[in-house]
Structure 1
Amino acid sequence: MRDTRLLRLRTLPLLGLLAALLLPLGLTAPGAAAAPGAADPVRVMPLGDSITGSPGCWRALLWNQLLDAGHTDIDFVGTLPTQGCGVAHDGDNEGHGGELVTNVADQNLLPARLAATLPDIVVMHFGTNDVWSSVSPDRILTAYTKLVGQMRESNPDMRVLVAQIIPMNPSTCAACAQRVVDFNARVPAWAAATSTDRSPVTVVDQWTGFDTATDTYDGVHPNDAGNEKIAARWFPALSALLGQGVPGDPDDPDEPGGATCTASFRAVSTWQGGYQAEVTVRNTSAAPVKGWTVTVVPADGARVGQLWNGTLSTAADGTATVTNANWNGALAPDASAAFGFIATAPATSSVPAATVDCTATS
């Protein structure tokens, strides 16, 4: 949004005190991490502009409403951190102040953000800046279609909640109020045409009952009352999706298998008594990979020594086990990562070779 002033959220005294106690210690909000041994949490990306992220305090309210309803196996994800709000919550988000959804689509900004966070669900309130800038509904919906396609490339089972955006009536834009009405009228038909059984797109009406005079502080950005309304509208739709779990979960007997990967070995250079090699890991499934492990069995008695872009452990027989680094484990379908190593080898060894095998974590 063009005006990203922080707003003050009415906080419950106990929650505010809890946040004050937890945050200086570096602790997360209750329920922010799954218990040891628990199934992977459902990853939810709040996507949009400053209404979502600057500070987007409806996310704090929604997070706590979900926890209170028993949805403790959730993880809000995004490349942006929390921006306050005074309530303990999982503040990760993808709400970039001032962004136009058409620019995000035209510049292909979303794929990298998806690859870094691997959401299962996207909660999208996006397009306010486009409407403000007189971008046509056709262009905005074309951008929506491209973004949903990129979401499905990241996760074929992606579930999308898309808002009919809140009203807008800034003092500098007399036409904006009607533009929002005109745009929102197009969203349901677009969603129906874009939705699939595997990757549903669900419309959430954020417009009805929202009053710019009482629910915003500037005709655009929600105040405390507006944040409460936005959270209340997202809650039933998101709660219903969370009740379905994670599609493609290999632990669910009703779902197909999870992610898979392959590993390929390549000698980079050789010298007397050793060589340098590279192993490429590729996600060969339709599901996102959240981590990978590769076993490397060098031929001719060679042993892996120095290694980069992964974590190495070596068995007594020379079998090397390499797990991903903390930054290259997440792989979208058909994406790849690589690690390299130096191996020592007997002087009598032949051309460098190794048997490699990959196991993915989904």
Structure 2
Amino acid sequence: MIGHDDAMRFMFVGDSMTIGRAGDFTWRYRMWQHLEASFGAPYAIVGPRSELHDTGTGTPVSYAYAAEEFPVPARAHLAGWGEGWLHMAPVIANAVAAHRADILLVSLGLIDLGFYTDSEQTARNARAFLAAARTANPRIRCVLLPVIPNIRAESDAPFAAECARFNELLAKAVADLDEPMSPLLLASRPPGYDIHTDTYDGTHPGPSGEHRLAGAYADAMHQAWGLGGPYAPARDRPEAPPLTASPTASPVRASAPPVVRTG
């Protein structure tokens, strides 16, 4: 159910794992399927963007979703390839206000730790993000996913340690900032998530990873707030290959940060 004035309004906030690339289903699509099947009340998916990342041009200009049945209004998001807490904290208040978001489903941090900030500063930026969101909606709810270390962490021990430290600090932030009027949830890392089988490059989710990510959010909301039901993957038509002839995008270990779009 999309477009009702009294709908609960969800906004996806994330980086390359959330925006997806041309030809992806995206975990956002999996969450839409879940909400359609189990939410049982009016809802909307909102946000200022709807594009996928085009790896050929390095820009978010593609609308080539693998699932043609994914409705255009439900493709809305606030996510970008190469964006993290650092980039989203300054823009989240305007996005929440403009789109009247009620619940933020947030997956951020890997880009920050890989390119921009250490765990301590990344945690401060996460707190700034939450504070800014509340200025726009004092009753905003947030479900936050811990950082899932990517393949870089297998050969870069300091990076792996920073990921672990940030997850500790994120858990502390959720505990410190949780309020009855504006509850925060820290979702669990998706059970069984394996970067070697659930991603296509050691970082970005493939179909099985998309289901696991959507399930982490769905189960957190169901268990804590009674929203929707337990996650049950919908059956898909055969998976389509990415609609681009470009080489697979590099994992977060790339030598320079990607160009960031904040508008």
TM over 0.5: yes
Specify the alignment match of 1:91 in structure 2: 75
The yes-or-no answer on 1:123 pairing with 2:92 is no
Q: Show structure 2 runs of 5+ residues with no match.
A: 53-64, 229-263
Identity among equivalent positions (%) equals 24
Cα distance change, pair 177–223 in 1 and its aligned pair in 2 (3 A): farther
Structure 1 equivalent of residue 59 of structure 2: none
Cα-Cα RMSD:
2.4
Q: Does the 8 Å CA contact 2:97/2:137 hold for their aligned counterparts? A: no
The residue type equivalent to 1:43 in the other structure is: R
Larger radius of gyration: 1
Within a 5 Å distance, the mapping from 1:63-212 to structure 2 comes to 63-83=32-52, 84-86=65-67, 87-89=69-71, 90-105=74-89, 108-133=90-115, 135-170=117-152, 174-175=156-157, 176-206=159-189, 208-212=191-195
Residue aligning to 2:209: 226
1:41 positional shift: 0.4
**Number of equivalent positions:** 208
Shift of 1:104: 3.2
* Bigger helix share: 2
Give me the TM-score of the superposition, normalised by structure 2: 0.72
Which amino acid is the alignment partner of residue 33 of structure 2? N
Tell me by how many angstroms 1:206 deviates. 2.4
- CA–CA distance in structure 2, aligned partners of residues 82 and 71 of structure 1: 27
Instruction: Return the TM-score normalized by structure 1.
Output: 0.53
Q: 1:165, 1:187 → 2: CA distance? A: 9
Instruction: Name the structure, 1 or 2, with higher relative contact order (CA <8 Å, separation 6+).
Output: 2
CA–CA separation in structure 2 for the residues paired with 1:208 and 1:184: 16
Q: Give the distance between the partners of 2:98 and 2:155, measured in 1 at CA.
A: 36
Q: Which segment drifts farther, 202-211 or 160-169?
A: 202-211
Q: Indicate which of 30, 45, 48 corresponds to 2:14.
A: 48
Structure 1 CA distance, aligned partners of 2:213 and 2:20?
Answer: 14
Q: Which 5+ residue runs of structure 1 have no aligned equivalent?
A: 1-30, 245-362
Q: Which amino acid aligns with 1:179?
A: E
Paired position in structure 1 for 2:28: 59
Letter in 1 for 2:134: R
The aligned residue for residue 3 of structure 2 is 33
Distance of aligned partners of 1:236 and 1:111 in 2 relative to their CA distance in 1, 3 Å threshold? same
Are 2:140 and 2:182, in contact at CA under 8 Å, matched by a contact in 1? yes
Please say if residues 102 and 139 of structure 1, whose CA atoms lie closer than 8 Å, have aligned partners that are also in contact. no
**What letter matches 2:171 in structure 1?**
P
Q: State whether residues 190 and 212 of structure 2, in contact with CA within 8 Å, keep that contact through their aligned partners in structure 1.
A: no
User: Post-superposition shift, 1:160?
Assistant: 0.8
User: Is the alpha carbon distance of 1:217 and 1:125 closer, same or farther for their aligned partners in structure 2, counting shifts above 3 Å?
Assistant: same
What's the secondary structure of 1:157's corresponding residue? Answer: coil
Which of 210, 233, 236 is the equivalent residue of 2:219? 236
Q: Flag the structure with higher strand content.
A: 1
Contact 1:166 1:207 in 2 (8 A): no
Aligned to 2:253: none
Equivalent pair of 1:45/1:123 in contact (CA under 8 Å): yes
